[in-house]
Amino acid sequence: MRLLDERAVEDIAIGAAVLGTGGGGDPYIGKLMAIDAISEHGPIKLLSPDEVNDDDLVIPTAMMGAPTVIIEKIPRGDEALEAFRILERRFGKKAVATMSIEAGGINSTIPLAVAARLGVPVVDCDGMGRAFPEIQMVVPHLYGVKATPMIIVDEKGNLVMLDTIDNTWTERISRAATVVMGGSTVIALYTMTGKQIKEATVHGSITMAETIGRILRENKKNPIQAMLEYVKGYEIFKGKIVDVMRRTVAGFARGEARLEGIDEYSGHELLIRFQNENLVAIRDGEIVASVPDLITVLEAETGQPITTEGLRYGYRAVVVGIPCNPKWRTPKALEVVGPRYFGYDIDYIPIEERMRKR
C-alpha cells in the first residue's frame, strides 16, 4: 500500500492519456475531481492486487460514452459514488476498493476521485492496460467475469441497472441507454473478488501511468524518447496534422486524422483511424500498427498526449506504438479486440515484429 497525492494524480492523468491511445476521455475533469477530493479527504490509498483478500469485493467505476460528449457534459460528482453504493447493496457486502476498468483518460482518474470521497483504496490494476471502446473489451471478459450487475447513472438523476445474459448484450443495451441519456454516463460494473482481480486484470497500471506522467514531466529535453524506453515502445511517425474528420455516431467518436511527415518523415503520410481510441496507423497506405497495440499521438515538443477529441489541424505530433499487455495477444483475445473485430481484414502482427521487419 502506498499513498497517492496531488502530484501523483497529475502524473497519472498524463500517463493515462498516453495509455488511453487517444480515447477514454480527456483526464482533465477526472483529475480535477480527484485533486478536489484529495484536498478534502486526504491522499488516496493505492493497494497492489496482492493486498486484496481473495473473498473481498472490488467495484470498478468509470464513465461511458463518446469522449467528445464527456468533455462537454460534466458529471455532477456523486454519480459514481451512488453507482458504487448500489452495487454494494446488490451484493449485500461492502466493497474494499474501487479500480479502473480501463487505463485511459478520465477512466483512470474517476476511480481516484471515487476512492478519495468514499475513503476506500484504489487497486493498482485495470481491466485493459489501455483504453478500448466497448464494454466486453476487458481482460476480465476473457476470464469469464460478467459485467453485470451494471449500474448506469446520469447527471440528471436517472438510474439504469442491467442484468444480462452476456457482456455483448451489456454493451448493446448500455450503449443505447447512454446515447439517450445524453451521450455520456457514469457506470459501475465488473464487480470482482480479490481472487478475480489477481488473475483477470492488468496489474500495475496506475503505477505505470504515474511513471509515464513523471517521465514526461521530468524530461524537458527528450520526453518522448525517455517515455518510449520505459514502456518499450516505438516512434512510428512525426508529422503535422493536416486533416481531422470526426463524427459522434451511435455513441462513439469515430473518425480519422491525417499527418504529413516532417524531419526524417518528410514526404510520407500517416493516417490514424479511431473509434474513441486509435485503432490503426496507416503509413503511405500500409498498416504500421494496429489494435490491440497502443497507438498514441503526442505533441512533438512537450510530449503531452493528444486525445482524439483534441486532434487539431496544425499540431506537430509524434505518433508512438506501444506493445499491449500479452493477455490481449491470444487468439481468443484477438477475436474480441483484434483488427478484424473493428472491420480491418488483416491479421494482427505485434508491433515489435513490425518494427523488427523495418
**Residue with smaller CB distance to a copy of itself, 43 or 182:** 182
* Cα angle, residue 219 at apex, residues 213 and 225 outer, rounded to 5°: 85
Which pairs count as long-range contacts for 175-178, CB under 8 Å and 24+ apart, including other chains?
175/64, 175/134, 175/135, 175/250, 175/251, 176/251, 177/152, 178/64, 178/65, 178/152, 178/251
When asked if residue 250 is in the footprint of a copy of itself (CB under 8 A), the reply is no
Specify the residue, 59 or 279, whose C-beta has the smaller distance to a copy of itself.
Answer: 59
As measured in angstroms, the least distance from the Cβ of 138 to a copy of itself is 19
Q: Does 249 bind a copy of itself (CB under 8 A)?
A: no
Nearest approach in angstroms of CB 148 to a copy of itself is: 9
Comparing CB distances to a copy of itself, the nearer of 175 and 354 is 175
Q: How far apart are CA 61 and CA 81, in angstroms?
A: 9
SS3 358: coil
From residue 119 to residue 158, what is the string marking binding to a copy of itself with x (rule CB under 8 A)? -------------------------------------xxx
Residues 89 and 187: their CA atoms lie apart, in Å, by 15
Q: Which of residues 174 and 278 has its CB atom nearest to a copy of itself in the complex?
A: 174
Tell me how far, at minimum, the Cβ of 144 lies from a copy of itself, in Å.
Answer: 17
The three cell numbers locating residue 197: 482481480
Which residues in the 152-171 window bind a copy of itself by CB under 8 A? 156-165, 169
Whichever of 159 and 334 has its CB closer to a copy of itself, that residue is 159
Binding mask 166-205 for a copy of itself (x = CB under 8 A): ---x--xx-xxx-xxx------------------------
Helix (H) / strand (E) element for 41: namely helix 28-41
Q: Report the b/e string of 275-287 with b at 16+ CB within 10 A.
A: bbbbbbbbbeeeb
Nearer CB in complex with a copy of itself: 32/173 = 173
Residues 289-348, interacting with a copy of itself (CB under 8 A) = none
**Site size toward a copy of itself, by CB under 8 A:** 19
* 257 CB-near residues (< 8 Å, 6+ apart): 241, 243, 244, 245, 271, 272, 274, 297, 308, 311
Tell me which residue has cell 442491467.
Answer: 162
Could you tell me the smallest distance in angstroms from the CB atom of residue 146 to a copy of itself? 12
CB of 154 to a copy of itself, least distance (A): 9
Residue 159 or 287: the one with the smaller Cβ distance to a copy of itself is: 159
**Distance separating alpha carbons of residues 6 and 210, to the nearest angstrom:** 11
- Residue 166 CB, nearest distance to a copy of itself (Å)? 9
Which triple of cell numbers denotes residue 94?
Answer: 461492502
Min dist CB 86 to a copy of itself, Å, is 9
The 10 Å Cβ neighbour count of residue 166 is: 12
Using CB under 8 A as the criterion, which residues of the chain lie in contact with a copy of itself when the complex forms? 156-165, 169, 172-173, 175-177, 179-181
